[in-house]
A and B are shown apart, each in its own frame.
Chain A
């Protein structure tokens, strides 16, 4: 009799664990979808800023048509990408490169760098980049946690049986990462100033370290979901 009670208790415990594990997979997957939607919202916010930025630069550098066309083309490609995180990231690469070109143009026009509208757009773009970076980290951290559960025992049994598959990280392409984010320096009045920190934009690169803070300066920790990592196979 006791043996049966113990066996039934074990079966009940296992059943509860299975249900809890399944439900956690579902809530994690929904969280990842929500996080991806949040990234999309922030990216749209950035795409919406670009036409105004281009118009402002055009007012000072109207002959740089090649740069403007490239920004418009790549923006259209990036905003039109509706596929997977990998596709979106691939479309972001040329767009960020074109933006970098646009800011390089701005470097050569001191009057443009002093333009209040341009400064406001630049600040807004910088804030948006921070928001994208945060949304991307949230998404990648949750993907990392979800994929870890899919790979590890005993949750992989549930994942296999209920077809929970690994999600993709949202990572920017290697070339864009190596080139660094587009930046413009407003600290020097001359147009030949070296590009430097401040209000740079990035499609998901690491947060630049701020100066003057106590204990700052240590390198950021390695980031499995961040720019220096690759998704698990």
Chain B
């Protein structure tokens, strides 16, 4: 199967454009991991 790099680049650029405008997803991508990290640390402290 031939994969056209141009088509792949087209799709990737489309996905980035969409993410850029989707504030909720951007928020989840940044805040979500931070919250999880704090939660994990908190659980570890409690376990000690």
- Are A and B interaction partners? no
Q: Which B residues form the contact surface with A (CB < 8 A)? A: none
